[in-house]
Structure 1
Amino acid sequence: MDGTNDPAQEDGGPFGRPLFDKPSARALSRVGVVDVGSNSVRLVVFDGAARSPAYFYNEKIMCALGAGMSETGRLNPEGRVRALEALKRFRLLGDGMGTGPLVAVATAAVRDAEDGPEFRDEVERETGIRLWVIDGREEARLSAQGVLLGWPGSYGLVCDIGGSSMELAEINGGTVGKRMSSSLGPLKLRDLKGGKKARKAQIHDTIARMRQELGEQKNRLFLVGGSWRAIAKIDMERRGYPLHVLHEYRMTPKAVRETAKYIEKNDLEELRNRADVSSARAALVPYAIEVLREVVRTFKPHDIAVSSYGIREGLLYEQMPQQLRDRDPLIESCRFAEAKDARIPGFGRVVYDFIEPLFKSAKPDRRRIIKAACLLHDVSWRSHPDYRAEDCFDNATRANLGGLKHSERVYLGLALLHRYSNKREGTRFADLYDLISERDAQQAEVLGKAMRFAAMLWLRKDAKLGQMRWYPKKKQLELSLSPEAAPLFGEVAQARFQSLAASLGAEPAIRTARK
């Protein structure tokens, strides 16, 4: 999303006004969320720019509350003890981090268990945490909102798998539509009597009913949940994929089928070690892949995206005012980083205005990456000069930034690498360059060198540097310097301008305005 027509961005130019300085956003600056699931109990503390928060703290305890419930109807006794101890710890951690009261939800295991109400009361009595037990439709809605936190305005079908349930919810234009819950969690499927044949029938019949209710859903399939992430890791290992970032990792229906066969043919213990999957997650993968294969076969999505955002992020999204929800999470996160770490916060906008004529033909999706690069162009200045370029690339490709495809991460990383270095050959990231086209790599180099030159004309955040004009047909790059910037155009600045012109294959022309 470009967001340049948003009235809330009045006087903010192409970037808009940063909302994290407003009281409504500061109230969300540190929020603690607890998710009591059928398989794990997790605390996440969010901090930073409210629209695209950093994970200030993240801890997970594998409790398997839902294990054995198919036979007993009750929570796993050992898991119940572990969960209570974890919640006691989380309460103390939240107090120490200043989160205020923790927002805590429990899903399928607690809502379905005979002793679920008893466990909920025990939690409140022993820890002071009020546990909200939500039904399947609400779980689906919150998971879908978590996806919207990272992909505002997105459309498709959100598939959230937990230990004891699997939810589907449609999203369209930033809103959550139809949603359904099922008992297709891998813990329940593992305990199902009748073996693989019974599981296959249960999975097929359940998803067929969900398809009848939800209708055709051939857009993007968003995968939420630890079992899906484990499968994505295995898919990465099978493909030899170089960027080990799960959020926004893409798979095709064909890749899901091939990975399902790959899991069947390989020893699970060896596979989990190669793919770096925990033993608890790996044990559920054979059941989860059966569900995923049937979901893909039934709904026929055009592509599949893994989301690291789910119910916990959905709870944060729930607390946001609409004005904040509508903002671009990437730009908000980069603005926050600039305000926190740049030497002159606000200078990124000056850089963008100065180099924008080089990218007149850029589409909105590309322009937002250019904006992000300009905001981040100076946040790594504390790194050692010998490693600064690589640190920039590493941070951009692996940072917790929402709304970025993997190819866009590499484009952004290359641009920031070239902000500090003329060359990209010989780095330890060479295998990642294949994720973008040679043309995009060359454009990222131009962007990086443009920022590298603009940084030499460094005055203040309201500086008037002059203008650059780019004539692609004539292959001419014209620089008109303002009187206040002209004395800054020294030898190093001249060399950087020449390097930028060379990357464009352009003839440089320099003009200096008189006072």
Structure 2
Amino acid sequence: MAKITTVIDIGSNSVRLAIFKKTSQFGFYLLFETKSRVRISEGCYAFKGVLQEIPMQRAVKALSEFKEIALKYKSKKILCVATSAVRDAPNRLEFVARVKKACGLQIKIIDGQKEALYGGIACANLLHKNSGITIDIGGGSTECALIEKGKIKDLISLDVGTIRIKEMFLDKDLDVKLAKAFIQKEVSKLPFKHKNAFGVGGTIRALSKVLMKRFDYPIDSLHGYEIDAHKNLSFIEKIVMLKEDKLRLLGVNEERLDSIRSGALILSVVLEHLKTSLMITSGVGVREGVFLSDLLRHHYHKFPPNINPSLTSLKDRFLPHEKHSQKVKKECVKLFEVLSPLHKIDEKYLFHLKIAGELASMGKILSVYLAHKHSAYFILNALSYGFSHQDRAIICLLAQFSHKKIPKDNAIAHMSAMMPSLLTLQWLSFILSLAENLCLTDSHHLKYTLEKNKLVIHSNDALYLAKEMLPKLIKPIPLMIEFA
């Protein structure tokens, strides 16, 4: 597969470009992205779906420049797909030929099932829960995929989208009840339900931003944001009736003002029908699905067990001495296990400790000064695929305060709801700091025993530096440490 791949998604509302760079067989990251609010579907629903001249002109101009950008980034592969508005248009082949002639891009028109599949592949691989239903609200249609334990079980495409509902009902000042009834009729075709929903697309991301602002949410990242569907359903329904000035006060972007009401209406009907209790916002969708279907074409569209693309990419790019980070991780596990009679920490937190052990030294690639702070920033902002916000917050904090006392004040108070107890964090931080000290040199055959409240470290090496740093370690409880 090409090292740099460009994916272009021609949606009913926007045309989006994403450029992905592989760092290894399964590691990758988003190198560049942009979008153009082409509105290819503008006016088409009043003319039996026919794409109109002005929107097509906008699309050709945007796509021509998108290709230039892809070539500038030395992309060896360009995959261009078109969804609802184009596939439903009687003049779709004319549009495809026009683009091909203007800039050489070959557009692949995908049907609703394929669009749902791509969204499903993205969510199944890149979110922290592996069972649920995707809700991908686009301008012309809404796609859903049923995912069970990471496998896509069913797909459906519904003919309800933000622009379609806006032009058919809201622009004509028709009663919202008529629009809702139309949506309910389509949504009743959904053959499955699930307590978890994965929200895909610009409308749901815009609504998520509103909710994050409303609750003063501490992490500025949409991907993986969890929404209590029961508690927020009535608020989402209220958005449908708000005027533009009220929407601005909520923080809705200008480009979403005329479509967020129809999007909120569709989402509220779908959530109510599915009886969903938790919705997870997805920052990934069709573009990532197209990329992953190519990347994982020999692996049944699924990453192998224990492979995380974000973690792999970070290690590929920022850990030139991976042998050292693996050693720190190994010692973290051994120390966690031998000290378990004292700390009594739930074993689920060993997951966070292991990742922190691997990535704590990553910040040195930027600067050895404040390296742990740099590591924490990388973790919080780039360890996104397959990790919950809580996972990222805990790992970030462990990396940032390695060799430091975890503060009780407002330095972490804004994230306290996501955190385990302070004592648990202190234990994990202590174990990480001790492991890092013991791995300063290539010490081999480290063994540990626990004698009541005394940790004995067995090694044939001198470990002079580790012994020297021992008094600086911040212990969670009175604990003797002895070298043998």
| TM-score where L is the length of structure 2 | 0.89
Matched, 1:355 2:336: no
1:23 corresponds in structure 2 to: none
Conserved in 1, the CA contact under 8 Å of 2:117 and 2:145? Answer: yes
2:265 corresponds in structure 1 to: 290
2:232 corresponds in structure 1 to: 256
Change (3 A) 1:325 1:420: farther
Report matched runs for 1:102-117 at 5 Å: 102-117=78-93
Determine which of 95, 114, 133 is the counterpart of 2:71: 95
Matched, 1:457 2:432: no
Distance of 2:195 and 2:336 partners within structure 1: 31
Change (3 A) 1:359 1:233: same
- Which is further off, 332-341 or 360-369? 360-369
Q: Describe the SS at the equivalent of 2:414.
A: helix
2:395 corresponds in structure 1 to: 412
2:14 corresponds in structure 1 to: 40
Conserved in 1, the CA contact under 8 Å of 2:127 and 2:282? Answer: no
Change (3 A) 1:59 1:128: same
What is the percentage of aligned positions where both structures have the same residue? 22
Distance of 2:228 and 2:299 partners within structure 1: 33
Matched, 1:147 2:123: yes
Change (3 A) 1:323 1:168: closer
Distance of 1:393 and 1:270 partners within structure 2: 37
Distance of 1:490 and 1:54 partners within structure 2: 40
Conserved in 1, the CA contact under 8 Å of 2:139 and 2:162? Answer: yes
Residue 455 of structure 1 deviates from its aligned partner by: 2.3
Distance of 1:110 and 1:78 partners within structure 2: 14
Report matched runs for 1:2-401 at 5 Å: 27=1, 29-49=3-23, 51-72=26-47, 73-151=49-127, 154-193=130-169, 194-210=174-190, 214-215=191-192, 217-263=193-239, 267-272=243-248, 274-275=250-251, 277-319=252-294, 320=296, 321-322=298-299, 325-327=302-304, 331-342=308-319, 344-360=321-337, 366-382=349-365, 387-401=370-384
Residue 173 of structure 1 deviates from its aligned partner by: 2.1
1:9 corresponds in structure 2 to: none
Q: Describe the SS at the equivalent of 1:35.
A: strand
**Partner deviation per Cα, 1:104-145 (whole Å, 9 max, x = no partner):** 100001101122111111112222211100011110011100
1:509 corresponds in structure 2 to: 481
Report matched runs for 1:490-509 at 5 Å: 490-491=467-468, 493-497=469-473, 499=474, 502-503=475-476, 505-509=477-481
Residue 250 of structure 1 deviates from its aligned partner by: 0.9
Aligned-partner residue type, residue 204 of structure 2: W
Change (3 A) 1:282 1:149: farther
Distance of 1:71 and 1:209 partners within structure 2: 25
Q: Describe the SS at the equivalent of 2:402.
A: helix
Conserved in 2, the CA contact under 8 Å of 1:389 and 1:420? Answer: no
Change (3 A) 1:187 1:482: same
| TM-score where L is the length of structure 1 | 0.84
Aligned-partner residue type, residue 377 of structure 1: A
Q: Describe the SS at the equivalent of 1:456.
A: helix
Determine which of 396, 402, 413 is the counterpart of 2:385: 402
Change (3 A) 1:265 1:298: closer
Distance of 2:263 and 2:301 partners within structure 1: 35
**Partner deviation per Cα, 1:407-446 (whole Å, 9 max, x = no partner):** 1111111111122532335565531233223x2x433333
- Which is further off, 477-486 or 371-380? 477-486
Change (3 A) 1:205 1:405: same
Conserved in 1, the CA contact under 8 Å of 2:2 and 2:77? Answer: no
Distance of 1:107 and 1:427 partners within structure 2: 47
Q: Describe the SS at the equivalent of 2:480.
A: strand
Aligned-partner residue type, residue 233 of structure 1: K
Distance of 1:204 and 1:397 partners within structure 2: 39
Q: How many residues align?
A: 470
2:447 corresponds in structure 1 to: 467
Distance of 1:250 and 1:121 partners within structure 2: 42
Change (3 A) 1:46 1:485: farther
Aligned-partner residue type, residue 294 of structure 1: V
**Partner deviation per Cα, 1:78-111 (whole Å, 9 max, x = no partner):** 3222221121112122222222130110000110
Gaps spanning 5+ residues in structure 1: where?
Answer: 1-26
Residue 251 of structure 1 deviates from its aligned partner by: 1.1
Distance of 2:376 and 2:89 partners within structure 1: 48
Matched, 1:486 2:463: yes
Conserved in 2, the CA contact under 8 Å of 1:164 and 1:185? Answer: yes
**Partner deviation per Cα, 1:178-234 (whole Å, 9 max, x = no partner):** 211112101000111444122011011111122xxx13x123111111101111111
Change (3 A) 1:29 1:427: farther
Distance of 1:78 and 1:108 partners within structure 2: 18
Residue 470 of structure 1 deviates from its aligned partner by: 5.2
- Which is further off, 159-168 or 368-377? 368-377
Residue 485 of structure 1 deviates from its aligned partner by: 4.6
User: What RMSD in Å do the two structures reach over aligned CA positions?
Assistant: 2.6
**Partner deviation per Cα, 1:312-371 (whole Å, 9 max, x = no partner):** 111122121318833368744334423432362221111111121343377775433322
Aligned-partner residue type, residue 444 of structure 2: K
Residue 453 of structure 1 deviates from its aligned partner by: 2.7
Distance of 1:233 and 1:359 partners within structure 2: 38
Distance of 1:34 and 1:466 partners within structure 2: 52
